[in-house]
Amino acid sequence: MDNRMAPAISFSSVRKTFGDVTALGDVSFLAPTGSVTVLLGPNGAGKTTTVRLTTGAMIPDFGAIRVLGLDPLTAGDEVRSRVGVVPPKPAFYDQISGWDNLQFAATIFGADESEALKAAARFGIDHALGQDVGGYSTGMRTRLALARAVLHDPEVLMLDEPTAGLDPESARAVLELISEMAGKGRTIIMCTHLLHEAEGVADQVVLLEDGEVRAAGAPRVLAGRYMADPIVIIDAEDRSMLPIVAELDGVLSLRDEGAFHITLDNTDRIPDLVIELVKRGVRPTRVEPLSPTLEDLYFEMQRAHREAG
Amino acid sequence: MRWSMIKAVVRIDLYRLFKTRDYWIPLVILGGLFFVILPVILLGSLNFIQRSPMIGQIGQIIGTLPETIQQNIQGDNPATRASYAFAVYLLAPIAIVVPLTISSAVGANSIVGEREQGTGEYLAHSPLTVREIYVAKLIASLIPGYLAGIAGFTMYSLIVNIIVGSQIGGWFFPTAGWMLLVLWVIPPFIAIALSLILRLSARVRSAASAHQASSLVTLPVILMSYGVASGLLYSPVVSAAISGLAAWIVAIILLVTGSKSIKRERLLGVSAEA
């Protein structure tokens, strides 16, 4: 069996409540080995609870979870030794140095100190390892947290809002890590509500809202499902002439958003559309088929579920 | 249990404690007060006021003690005998307060402190078992108190031998009963207090609550251990050994069952029952 096809993580009808509050309702999804799964959702959607259940740090009320073929409830110690986690607000022992923190992590994860040093260098935090972590900036703390999470070369890496509050350079380091780890066949789970950051790295998107999975699948598949009608952006020298587009065959709708966003019934119509516009005296300056962003997709999925509900 | 991991947690806890001066300086002052300042003032005063009527009153109190105890009190004049009685029978048991207080203070903060600092989340996601975390926290809380106790007893012994020993012709402290107390009886009492305090630390929501709750545990244990220690100093060595054994049995039962109080969800601080 191809290992890359087997799910590294599976949630099956998982439910978790805190008193009267339902954190996860009936959550099921698969994260294939070597894939990047992005858990999308607003604050309180259940993303952090999902991470905590995955490592066995929390116990579900109901349902089954498997991580690397193991049950975190009965084989939690092994699961946790093969998983790396970057929590939303990485915490350290602030009174001691970055190196002492990394050394501690290396010992409990059974890694060599050389690996800890290598991880620190990988995230550009090696120069500050002698300082007490209490004096670190948010970016430095995240870099140290990333180093700490990967020093034992985990098979699954879980990043919970890893770019929150980061400078662009540190945010890029996170995204580079995701690509690098995925390239090495590692499974990545990334929780975020910053959609543009998940763009381009997600093999699969799981949309969580109010503790329920609203949609799950590859972005392209989801785009096909939720945004079936293609959009093309058109601008012209004389924009006042553009509303005539609405009269042309295959145009379903028209939105003026600076440039005109035109929904077509088929992308094959774009060349004919341009020819017809030119015939009518319009001189187009921009014709750009729009690939839906994750953000477009996210809001479209939310809209579709609101309408369905 | 993987001792290398436990050692790593103990090491980092002790190192953090060492680097947090605000935390340990008051504890050092407490130790200095009980082991050095108080004995020097009391024993020095007794030495100084040799002819005071108070010496006579202390002599009368000593006269009410059992015959065997009276025979053990050394010194050929009332002032020296009073100093000896103070050093061995009155001041010494007070010293149990210091290791217990220090260990309790460290233990109270140990688990809830991880949660407050956010590092509890890291421990919850780590391969450490809850039993390993518990044992590590226990050892890390026990060591400061016990080391402070040993260091304090050593200082106290020097002070007693210098002030009182010079009066009775040589160094005499620690006595056999004292050695038994320090090495055999006090440790289980610290362990009993800690096993209860760690349970509290795992359950309460804040370090402030943990410290408040721990005082409810520490005070009765201090009173109980003080009573036992005082009694044992007046008793034959065999009684002390048996009492120590009983305390160890209770301590071991409490310690073994105590690890159940730590749950990963409590380290995260999200347990509904926490």
User: Residues 6 or more apart from B135 whose CB is under 8 A from it?
Assistant: B1, B6, B259
Q: Per-residue pLDDT tens for A185-215?
A: 899 999 987 777 777 788 898 988 888 998 8
CB contacts under 8 A, B 116-175 vs A, are 117-119, 121-122, 124-129
pLDDT value for A181: 87
Higher pLDDT among residues B192 and A220, named by residue: B192
- SS3 of B70-130: HHHCCCCCHHHHHHHHHHHHHHHHHCCHHHHHHHHHHHHHHHHHHHHHCHHHHHHCCCCCH
Of A234 and B175, more confident: A234
Q: Do A57 and B9 touch (CB under 8 A)?
A: no
Local confidence band at B51 (pLDDT 50, 70, 90 cut-offs)? low
Residues of B in contact with A107 (CB under 8 A): 4-5, 8
Please answer yes or no on whether A91 and B128 come within 8 Å at the CB atom.
Answer: no
Looking at the predicted structure, is the pLDDT value of residue B4 above 80? yes
Q: Which residues pair with A212 in a beta bridge?
A: A209
Q: Do A91 and B121 touch (CB under 8 A)?
A: yes
Residue B220 in contact with partner chain A when CB distance is under 8 A = no
The nearest alpha carbon in chain B to A49 belongs to B270
* pLDDT score recorded for residue B273: 40
DSSP, res A6: S
Is the pLDDT assigned to residue B206 strictly greater than 50?
Answer: yes
Q: How far apart are CA A76 and CA B131, in angstroms?
A: 13
| pLDDT, mean of residues A270-285 | 90
| pLDDT tens profile A119-167 | 999 888 999 999 999 999 888 898 899 999 999 999 999 999 888 777 7
Q: Over pLDDT 70: what percentage of chain A? A: 97
Domain residues of chain A, as ranges? 3-224, 229-291
pLDDT of residue B177: 76
More confident residue, B188 or A224: B188
Please indicate whether, in this complex, the C-beta atoms of B125 and A80 are within 8 angstroms of each other.
yes
Class of domain A3-224: alpha beta
Contact A58 B9 (CB under 8 A): no
The confidence score (pLDDT) of residue B107 equals: 86
Q: Which residues contact B41 (CB under 8 A, 6 or more apart)?
A: none
* Alpha helix positions (H), chain B: 3-19, 21-32, 38-48, 53-63, 67-72, 78-85, 91-94, 97-117, 119-124, 130-160, 166-168, 176-180, 186-203, 207-233, 237-258, 264-268
Average pLDDT over residues A237-251: 86
A56 touches chain B (CB under 8 A): yes
A95 touches chain B (CB under 8 A): yes
Q: How confident is the model at residue B229 (pLDDT cuts 50, 70, 90)?
A: low
Q: Which residue has the tokens 């098979």?
A: A155
Q: Per-residue pLDDT for A110 more than 70?
A: yes
Question: Is A18's CB within 8 Å of B270's CB?
Answer: yes
How much is the mean pLDDT over chain A? 87
In this prediction, residue B236 carries a pLDDT of 64
Give the pLDDT of residue B95: 67
ipTM of the complex: 0.81
Edge-to-edge strands of the sheet including A251-257?
A: A251-257, A259-264, A231-236, A284-290
Q: How sure is the predictor about A309, in pLDDT bands with cuts at 50, 70 and 90?
A: low
Q: pLDDT band at B93, cuts 50/70/90?
A: low
Q: Which residues contact A272 (CB under 8 A, 6 or more apart)?
A: A249, A250
Query: Which carries the bigger pLDDT value, residue B219 or residue B94?
Result: B219
**How confident is residue A75, by pLDDT bands cut at 50, 70 and 90?**
very high
- pLDDT digit string (tens) for B96-141? 788 888 888 888 888 888 888 889 999 999 999 999 999 999 999 9
Calculate how close chain A gets to B188, using CA atoms only, in Å. 29
Where are chain B's structural domains?
Answer: 3-264
| Nearest-CB residue to B125 (from A55, A78, A104) | A55
Per-residue pLDDT for B92 more than 70? no
Chain B contact present for A58, CB below 8 A: yes
Subunit contact A57:B129, Cβ cutoff 8 A: no
Q: Does B273 touch chain A (CB under 8 A)?
A: no
Token pair belonging to B256: 């073994």
Which residues on B lie below 8 Å from A150 (Cβ)? none
| B71 in reach of chain A (CB within 8 A) | no
What was the pLDDT predicted at B68?
A: 73
Pick from A44, A19, A8: nearest CA to A189: A8
Chain A touched by B72 (CB under 8 Å): no
pLDDT computed for residue A148 by the predictor: 95
- pLDDT tens digits, A171-188: 887 888 888 888 888 999
Q: What number is the average pLDDT over the span A264-290?
A: 87
Residue A2 is predicted with a pLDDT of: 46
* Residue B272 pLDDT level (bands cut at 50, 70, 90): very low
CB contact B70 to A (< 8 Å): no
Contact (CB, 8 A) for B268 and A57: yes
Confidence label for A68 from pLDDT (cuts 50, 70 and 90): very high
Q: Give the range with max mean pLDDT: A63-72, A200-209, B80-89.
A: A63-72
Peptide bond connecting A90 to the previous residue in cis, omega within 30 degrees of 0: no
Look at the domain A229-291 and name its fold. Alpha-Beta Plaits (3.30.70)
pLDDT at residue A112 greater than cutoff 70: yes
